[in-house]
């Protein structure tokens, strides 16, 4: 009963917020803006991406001198904002927007598309947050040290790297989260849902509510997954 009440309150609050965004929209066709940040001497990077709504696609940049490069299409009324600082070999970069946003359910998310590439060279702690929309995070070729993803309403699909030892945290209010593990990557999964379901790969063992891949304890490369979904479905699967 407590989970159901919490879920109802989340739906009510989000519905009110989305109505506000739509009512505040001046309309208009989004115009693409190029964004780029040189890699310079960065050996590590802390990157925060926070579009308010839309379709976010992230891929790896190979053989590039850029830390980040791509195009963003902010909604009418939004302003793109970037910050950057390089300190002691660590690049601190943020990319987001300010202003009121319309959640475009009827017309699809693609017109508010963000297409970004991240360097595959430095170790990256990546944080991504979005109010409503769709995320396709193709992170297979990145050198991740930490990943944190948050989405209010919508769908997140993430392809994780197969090398290194790192943590990955996904949270969502309403929608679906799909996490795709490469073959050979050990995984430990902790998950919580209020109203929804969790699907894990066959062969994963459950101990005290935590799921482990068969090779987790001995794997050179592994990820610790934290998955939280208030309402919806969470799926973890191994890439074919």
Residue 76's pLDDT band, with cuts at 50, 70 and 90, is confident
Mean per-residue pLDDT, 187-202: 94
User: According to the model, what pLDDT value does residue 31 have?
Assistant: 76
pLDDT at 78 over 60: yes
Decide which of 104 and 176 is more confident.
176
| Rounded distance between C-alpha atoms, residue 36 and residue 173, angstroms | 31
User: According to the model, what pLDDT value does residue 32 have?
Assistant: 86
Decide which of 149 and 12 is more confident.
149
User: According to the model, what pLDDT value does residue 16 have?
Assistant: 42
Mean per-residue pLDDT, 12-28: 43
User: According to the model, what pLDDT value does residue 101 have?
Assistant: 57
Decide which of 108 and 67 is more confident.
67
pLDDT at 9 over 70: no
User: According to the model, what pLDDT value does residue 170 have?
Assistant: 98
**Kind and range of the H or E run holding 3:** helix 2-23
User: According to the model, what pLDDT value does residue 66 have?
Assistant: 97
| Rounded distance between C-alpha atoms, residue 63 and residue 78, angstroms | 32
Burial of 220 (0-12, 13-18, 19+ CB in 10 A): exposed
User: According to the model, what pLDDT value does residue 110 have?
Assistant: 60
Lowest mean pLDDT among 27-41, 70-84, 146-160, 188-202: 27-41
First to last CA, the chain: 39
User: According to the model, what pLDDT value does residue 99 have?
Assistant: 76
C-alpha dist (Å) from residue 170 to 38, 106, 150, 235: 28, 26, 6, 11
User: According to the model, what pLDDT value does residue 108 have?
Assistant: 58
């Amino acid at each position: 009963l407590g989970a159901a009440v919490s879920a109802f309150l989340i739906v009510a609050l989000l519905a009110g917020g989305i109505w506000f965004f739509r009512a505040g929209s001046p309309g208009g066709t989004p115009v693409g803006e190029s964004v780029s940040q040189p890699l310079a001497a960065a050996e590590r990077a802390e990157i925060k991406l926070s579009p308010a709504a839309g379709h976010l696609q992230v891929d790896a940049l190979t053989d590039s001198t850029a830390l980040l490069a791509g195009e963003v299409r902010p909604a009418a009324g939004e302003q793109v904002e970037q910050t950057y600082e390089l300190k002691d070999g660590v690049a601190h970069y943020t990319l987001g927007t300010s202003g009121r946003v319309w959640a475009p359910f009827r017309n699809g998310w693609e017109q508010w598309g963000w297409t970004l590439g991240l360097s595959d060279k430095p170790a990256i702690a990546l944080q991504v947050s979005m109010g409503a929309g769709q995320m396709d995070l193709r992170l297979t070729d990145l050198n991740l040290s930490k990943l944190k993803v948050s989405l209010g309403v919508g769908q997140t699909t993430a392809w994780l790297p197969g090398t290194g030892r790192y943590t990955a945290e996904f949270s969502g209010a309403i929608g679906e989260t799909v996490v795709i593990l490469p073959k050979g990557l050990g995984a430990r999964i902790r998950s919580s849902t209020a109203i929804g379901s969790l699907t894990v790969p066959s062969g994963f063992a459950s101990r005290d509510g935590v799921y482990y891949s068969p090779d987790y304890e001995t794997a050179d490369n592994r990820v610790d997954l934290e998955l939280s979904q208030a309402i919806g479905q969470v799926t973890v699967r191994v890439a074919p």
